[in-house]
């Protein structure tokens, strides 16, 4: 860019070349609002190309630099101010609407049960009582800190006696059990952290040695000659329920799998109770049938057992005996065309192999802050937990989708059972007890969606954390009696169930949401700084390593994981003691984030591609108009979550109390954690519904 000229040249143009002799020339790029400065040294910048000595900047240039940096800082402050105003406006709308998580509407009324609502109300009442107690203790400490200066002499003496009695009581009766509970939680925290560290080291070893599961058979030849390669009969199942947004993309992706058409059959297992959705899915299946795809539509009249019942019913078909393997994809999953060619060959000449699991990738991981934080969690789950367990012990929890089962292994393990809300983990544990081995392929991906609203994510996490506790109660006798190696039993009981499914949500909620705030009001019991800050920061660092692009979100991730401990702890207790909410099953909401272009590419022919955007929905809608109640189900609301909101006030109260004892690290943690609970409680982290 040339030196300054025209209006922006100012005095430089009027003074001529003498203006540049005072120092290094400066080029200002006008990229509003983020201006940048480039200093140019060397030959050729001034006329004649003479080499000039490097000279210091003069006062005018320093002034320009400071002004431009000030303008940049002002732009950042303006952005922060606008973001704060938008956040405040969203919070005001939530409070004005007054819609809380206790308000059931539409679909929630069908799934919510009286015991579940009672359980939620009791848990909320406990948190609210704890909050009121902390506010009372804060008032007592503030009054004591003021030394009764504003009180009359008799009142000051009475309050001093009351405070002294409270100090003696808490030192004798409150602090010892609280410190004991804190020490126990710290031990559990260290054990769980050591387990995570060992898994991370195992993942590092896998990458260092470039370990990778390899099929026994050689690479497959071209699919045009099925007789020359290994192309066994594969059954592909797509279970779905009222998922109008994603049925087209999943059916299209499965029908385009690169496998001989005569050697695989697609079952669309539709459990929808909405007639409109049923008609749309049936019509989509018929269109693919007309274009040569081997695909069938199944709809159950009696919808029992949720997904497990749906899969169990499909496996009872008479033609299933002709197939050797079954691949399962949820309604929002889109396998790549080579999925079967990269997974099925691992079964050849490996009769002990029962499951090949692929990892998930996410089409909407950058949609909002909630999806970014979920991506961190799931990347660690697949990259570290699943890969390490699959590589070293040949066992992990089946993810329920994007996997291929040997049908013989399913039948030998007892088939699908409807006794828990985690039928995928149930069948995996029973297959492991029967001696079947699993393989995880970290390099084979299957695209899917992440929940974009906190409401959907919270319900998903509740099901994922209550189901394992139900399964643990049911499987414990079978694990003890089964004839497998002792170390496998120990791994199942102590690591797979107790440490990772029970202890993790227990100590996370108890230590950081209950004990830490209490230690502010009972200073005789304390938590060291390394428990509050350093170890959690190290664990968050390990969790975020599999997704390095998410490093800017390491602090929000740490705070959000502690925030989610409320939901996970509640779910864990519900599943362990078989409370009503443990049996809730809510289909995770999908938005159909696959691009319209992807659907057009996967369409069977040109005529179908032209009709893809509008013909199918419009034709069906004209045939049968949707009733009014169906429209009400589509409505979305942002809600206020009372438990998270109450905990935010509790943590902020404890942060205020920590100022009196000058505990800096604890204050900052409690402050930021309280703000995190406040944002989640006001539903400001996920999808914003206007």
CATH number at residue 431: 3.90.550.10
265 & 319 share domain: yes
The verdict on whether 424 is a catalytic residue reads yes
565 & 466 share domain: yes
- As a whole number of angstroms, the distance between CA 281 and CA 315 comes to 20
Asked, for residue 472, whether it belongs to a domain, the answer is: yes
413 & 557 share domain: no
Name, of 30-44, 412-426, 600-614, the range with top average pLDDT. 412-426
Q: What are 334-345's pLDDT values in tens digits?
A: 999 999 999 999
Asked, for residue 101, whether it belongs to a domain, the answer is: no
Q: Is the pLDDT of residue 89 over 80?
A: no
Give the CA count within 13 Å in the CB-facing half-sphere of 199.
Answer: 26
- Among candidate residues 101, 270, 330, 424, the one labeled active-site is 424
Of residues 15 and 234, more confidently modeled: 234
Asked, for residue 550, whether it belongs to a domain, the answer is: yes
Q: Are strands 403-406 and 26-29 parallel, antiparallel or unpaired?
A: unpaired
- Among candidate residues 101, 270, 271, 330, the one labeled active-site is 271
Give the CA count within 13 Å in the CB-facing half-sphere of 181.
Answer: 18
- pLDDT confidence of 134, banded at 50, 70, 90? confident
Of residues 64 and 414, more confidently modeled: 414
365 & 504 share domain: no
For 34-51, what is the mean pLDDT?
Answer: 45
Q: Is the pLDDT of residue 611 over 70?
A: no
Helix (H) or strand (E) holding 125: helix 114-145
Asked, for residue 173, whether it belongs to a domain, the answer is: no
Asked, for residue 483, whether it belongs to a domain, the answer is: yes
Asked, for residue 311, whether it belongs to a domain, the answer is: yes
What is the pLDDT, as a whole number, of residue 102?
64
- Closest among 620, 608, 589 to 255, alpha carbons compared: 608
Give the global pTM.
0.79
Q: How far is CA 278 from CA 236, 241, 510, 612, in A?
A: 19, 9, 45, 17
252 & 312 share domain: yes
259 & 356 share domain: yes
For residues 330 and 448, the answer to whether their CB atoms sit within 8 Å is yes
238 & 318 share domain: yes
What is the pLDDT, as a whole number, of residue 626?
44
The verdict on whether 271 is a catalytic residue reads yes
What is the pLDDT, as a whole number, of residue 146?
64
Of residues 119 and 417, more confidently modeled: 417
409 & 268 share domain: yes
- Domain ends where: 431, 450, 469? 450
Q: Is the pLDDT of residue 610 over 90?
A: no
- pLDDT confidence of 640, banded at 50, 70, 90? confident
- Domain ends where: 385, 415, 450? 450
pLDDT, averaged across the chain: 80
For 344-351, what is the mean pLDDT?
Answer: 93
412 & 465 share domain: no
Look at the block and give the residue holding tokens 């009027």.
Answer: 14
- As a whole number of angstroms, the distance between CA 237 and CA 315 comes to 10
Asked, for residue 662, whether it belongs to a domain, the answer is: yes
Q: What are 65-84's pLDDT values in tens digits?
A: 888 888 888 888 787 777 66
- Domain ends where: 405, 423, 450? 450
Buried b / exposed e across 117-148, counting CB within 10 Å, b at 16+?
eebbeebbeebbebbeebeebbeebebbeeeb
**Domain boundaries, position 659:** 181-205+456-591+637-685
480 & 339 share domain: no
434 & 353 share domain: yes
- pLDDT confidence of 286, banded at 50, 70, 90? very high
For residues 355 and 403, the answer to whether their CB atoms sit within 8 Å is yes
- How far the first Cα of the chain sits from its last, in Å, is 46
Of 63-77, 297-311, 341-355, 606-620, which range is least confident?
Answer: 606-620
503 & 407 share domain: no
Number of structural domains the chain divides into: 2
Q: How far is CA 685 from CA 290, 367, 553, 557, 676, in A?
A: 45, 11, 13, 12, 9
For residues 447 and 332, the answer to whether their CB atoms sit within 8 Å is no
Asked, for residue 94, whether it belongs to a domain, the answer is: no
């Amino acid at each position: 860019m040339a030196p300054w000229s025209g209006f922006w040249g100012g005095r430089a143009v009027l003074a001529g070349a003498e203006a540049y002799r005072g120092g290094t020339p400066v080029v200002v790029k006008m990229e509003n609002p983020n201006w940048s400065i480039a200093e140019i040294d060397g030959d050729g910048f001034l006329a004649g190309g003479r080499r000039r000595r490097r000279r210091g900047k003069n006062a005018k240039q320093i002034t320009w630099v400071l002004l431009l940096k000030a303008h940049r800082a002002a732009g950042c402050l303006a952005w922060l101010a606008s973001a704060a105003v938008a956040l405040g406006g969203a919070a005001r709308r939530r409070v004005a609407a007054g819609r809380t998580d206790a308000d059931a509407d539409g679909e929630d009324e069908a799934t919510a049960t009286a015991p579940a609502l009672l359980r939620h109300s009791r848990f909320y009442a406990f948190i609210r009582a704890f909050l009121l107690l902390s506010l009372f203790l804060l008032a007592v400490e503030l009054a004591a800190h003021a030394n009764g200066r504003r009180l009359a002499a008799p009142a000051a003496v009475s309050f001093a006696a009351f405070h002294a009695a409270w100090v003696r009581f808490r030192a004798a009766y409150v602090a010892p059990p609280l410190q004991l509970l804190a020490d126990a939680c710290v031990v559990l925290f260290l054990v769980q952290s050591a387990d995570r560290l060992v898994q991370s080291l195992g993942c590092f070893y896998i990458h260092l040695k470039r370990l990778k599961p390899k099929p026994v058979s050689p690479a497959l030849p071209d699919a045009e000659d099925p007789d020359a390669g290994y192309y066994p009969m594969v059954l592909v199942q797509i279970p779905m329920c009222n998922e109008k947004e994603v049925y087209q993309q999943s059916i299209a992706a499965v029908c385009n799998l690169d496998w001989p058409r005569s050697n695989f059959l697609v079952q669309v297992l539709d459990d929808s109770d909405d007639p409109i959705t049923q008609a749309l899915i049936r019509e989509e299946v018929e269109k693919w049938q007309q274009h040569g795809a081997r695909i069938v539509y199944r709809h159950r009249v009696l919808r029992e057992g949720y997904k497990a019942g749906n899969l169990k019913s499909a496996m009872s078909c008479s033609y299933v005996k002709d197939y050797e393997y079954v691949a399962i994809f949820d309604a929002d999953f889109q396998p790549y065309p080579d999925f079967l060619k990269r997974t099925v060959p691992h079964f050849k000449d490996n009769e002990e192999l029962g499951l090949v699991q692929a990892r998930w990738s996410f089409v909407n991981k950058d949609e909002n802050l909630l999806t970014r934080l979920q991506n961190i969690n799931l990347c660690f789950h697949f990259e570290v937990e699943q890969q390490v367990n699959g590589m070293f012990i040949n066992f992990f929890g089946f993810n329920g989708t994007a996997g291929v089962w040997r049908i013989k292994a399913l039948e030998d393990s007892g088939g699908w059972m409807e006794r828990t809300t985690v039928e995928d983990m149930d069948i995996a544990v029973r297959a492991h007890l029967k001696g079947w081995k699993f393989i995880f392929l970290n390099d084979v991906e299957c695209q899917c969606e992440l929940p974009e609203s906190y409401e959907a994510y919270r319900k998903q996490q509740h099901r994922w954390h209550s189901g394992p506790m139900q399964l643990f109660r049911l499987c414990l006798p079978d694990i003890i009696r089964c004839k497998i190696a002792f170390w496998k039993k120990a791994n199942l009981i102590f690591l797979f169930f107790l440490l990772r499914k029970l202890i993790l949500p227990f100590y996370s909620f108890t230590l950081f949401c209950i004990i830490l705030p209490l230690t502010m009001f009972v200073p005789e019991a304390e938590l060291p700084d390394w428990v509050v800050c350093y170890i959690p920061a190290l664990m968050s660092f390990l969790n975020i390593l599999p997704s390095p692009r998410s490093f800017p979100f390491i602090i929000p991730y740490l705070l959000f994981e502690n925030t989610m401990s409320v939901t996970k702890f509640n779910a864990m207790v519900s599943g362990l003691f078989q409370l009503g909410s443990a049996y809730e099953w809510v289909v995770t909401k999908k938005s159909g984030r696959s691009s319209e272009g992807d659907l057009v590419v996967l369409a069977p022919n040109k005529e179908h591609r032209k009709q893809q955007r509008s013909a199918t929905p419009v034709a069906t809608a004209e045939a049968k108009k949707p009733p009014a109640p169906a429209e009400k189900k589509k409505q979305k609301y942002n809600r206020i979550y009372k438990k998270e909101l109450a905990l935010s006030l509790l943590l902020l109260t404890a942060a205020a109390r920590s100022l009196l004892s000058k505990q800096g690290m604890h204050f900052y943690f409690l402050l930021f954690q309280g703000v995190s609970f406040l944002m989640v409680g006001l539903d400001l982290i996920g999808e914003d519904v206007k």
